[in-house]
Amino acid sequence: MKIAMAIGPGFEDLEHWAVYMRMAELGAQIVTVGARAGEVYTAKSGGLTAQADTTANTLQADELTALLIPGGWAPDKLRRDTALLELIRSMDAAGKLLGFICHAGWVAASAGIVRGRKAAGSLGIKDDMENAGAEWVDQPALRDGNIVWGRVVADIPAYNRLLAETLTGN
């Protein structure tokens, strides 16, 4: 199982690292994706960092089991990465698991994959998601087809459970 996790400057540290650790517990090979391979990004809290292993243009949907994106300030930059948006669209078309928590829904909206689907996230992106055609649902975590949504940091346990259930079938 190979999982990509996209990050950028100002990523939400808990939404990245708590999810990363849960995926590692499941035995996943995790590749961290950023704008530049080798770049170290600082979380919005200013404390934790994460280094990008690669860039989105080096990955193909058929080699990945899932692509997960944390919130924070990073999604505002990630949504401008055309290679990442194309990877998301390819993964969605292939029915591969996509996970978005908090502000990461912005990236899904920019990829054009939310219309007609249920979505959750930070209340701060509700209008953007609805304007992109999503049906907003205020719950800790939910799954609509191949997409798992998480609301905010406090909902990481529910988000992680749903990701794990989706990946393992349990």
Q: Which residues are catalytic?
A: 102-103
Contacting residues for 75 by C-beta, under 8 A, at least 6 apart: 8, 69, 103, 104, 105, 106, 107
> How does DSSP assign 112-144, residue by residue?
T--TTSEE---GGGHHHHHHTT-EE--SSEEEE
Q: Which residues pair with 29 in a beta bridge?
A: 2
Strands 40-42 and 49-51: antiparallel
Contacts of 127 by beta carbon, 8 Å cutoff, 6+ apart: none
- Nearest residue to 11 via CA among 32, 37, 38, 29: 32
Which pair of tokens denotes residue 131?
Answer: 């304007």
Strands 40-42 and 118-119: unpaired
